[in-house]
Amino acid sequence: MAEEVKLLKTWSSPFGLRIVWALKLKGIEYESIDEDLSNKSALLLHSNPVHKKIPVLIHNGKPISESLLILEYIDQTWTQNPILPQHPLEKARQRFWAKFNDDKLIPSIWSVFGNGGKEREEALLENLELVERELKVKGKRFFGGDEIGLADLAFGWLANLIGVFEAVTGLKLIDGRFPLLSAWIQEFSDIPVIKDSWPSHDELVVKYQALYDKFHAK
Ligand SMILES: N[C@@H](CCC(=O)N[C@@H](CS)C(=O)NCC(=O)O)C(=O)O
């Protein structure tokens, strides 16, 4: 039976994008279905009844939710071009940083974007410093070593959204402060599979500007 792979996502979601990257890195053919989150489809509600969020991967009719779990599923199902290393310690480390990204870094940037203020900015910069330090300890091009791995895919949103956030908020977050992170952003963005799937910077600025204006409306 031919494999059937569908991906429910939106054009701008960083969580959806990491799945697109993983599927492309592994050369998996899939059908992309863009959701309107203000009017969620029956397919999305049926496939992810708990969280009702994208991304959802549907493999031969079976849905998998939560992007980090989808990445693990993809890696175990299609083993070419692995995104997780074999070694248990290295594997745990990749998972640690991917989880740090989702649990700490993303909420801290949202809190700056939504509320602003010096304390929140400092908390975000501290988190970015921790990421910078991990790159230093690792001493490689990527969080995954010589090739991109789970943590790179999780941090991937930084490579285009940080510029969008900077454009919208007027804050300078990365430049000059985090040389290793800046180098990683460049290396990561230069990978053809990554570069070819970026949403347009200008369209993202329009989207996030509207969101920012809404958050900050008096
Ligand atoms: N932890 C989830 C987060 C996914 C998520 O936040 N998706 C957003 C879009 S970026 C969503 O579907 N939001 C719809 C909603 O909250 O109703 C994951 O990693 O998949």
The per-residue pLDDT string of the chain (218 residues; one tens digit each, 9 = 90 and over) reads: 679 999 999 999 999 999 999 999 999 999 999 999 999 999 999 999 999 999 999 999 999 999 999 999 999 999 999 999 999 999 999 999 999 999 999 999 999 999 989 999 999 999 999 999 999 999 999 999 999 999 999 999 999 899 999 999 999 998 789 999 999 999 999 999 999 999 999 999 999 999 999 999 86
Distance CA 135, CA 185 (A): 12
Judge contact between 40 and 13, C-beta under 8 A.
Answer: no
* Number of domains composing the chain: 2
Residue of 43, 48, 54 to test ligand 1 pocket, by largest number of atoms within 8 Å of CB: 54
Looking at ligand 1, which residue's alpha carbon is closest to its atom 12? 53
Q: How far is CA 116 from the centre of its chain?
A: 22
Distance CA 70, CA 84 (A): 13
User: Does 105 share its domain with 151?
Assistant: yes
Kindly state whether residue 194 falls inside one of the protein's structural domains: yes
Q: Ligand 1 site: residues with CB under 6 angstroms?
A: 13, 15, 37, 52-55, 66-68
CA 179 – ligand 1 centroid, Å: 30
Distance CA 200, CA 58 (A): 26
User: Does 37 share its domain with 139?
Assistant: no
The 8-class DSSP code of residue 105 comes to I
Q: What is the phi/psi pair of residue 179, to 5°? A: -60, -40
Q: Which atom belonging to ligand 1 lies closest to the Cα atom of 37? A: 14
Which tokens in the block code for residue 33? Answer: 């279905």
Kindly state whether residue 121 falls inside one of the protein's structural domains: yes
Judge contact between 173 and 124, C-beta under 8 A.
Answer: yes
User: Does 112 share its domain with 190?
Assistant: yes
Residue 35's CB: how many other CB atoms inside 10 A? 20
CA 55 – ligand 1 centroid, Å: 7
Which tokens in the block code for residue 173? Answer: 């977050």
User: Does 114 share its domain with 60?
Assistant: no
Q: Which pLDDT value is given to residue 147?
A: 93
CA 53 – ligand 1 centroid, Å: 4
Which tokens in the block code for residue 207? Answer: 């989207």
Asked which of 22, 53, 77 is the last residue of a domain, the reply is: 77
Distance CA 141, CA 127 (A): 20
Looking at ligand 1, which residue's alpha carbon is closest to its atom 15? 53
Q: Which atom belonging to ligand 1 lies closest to the Cα atom of 70? A: 20
Alpha helices of the chain — where are they, by DSSP H? Answer: 14-25, 42-47, 67-77, 88-100, 106-114, 118-138, 150-155, 157-169, 179-190, 192-195, 201-215
CA 48 – ligand 1 centroid, Å: 11
Provide the residue range defining the domain that includes 69: 5-77
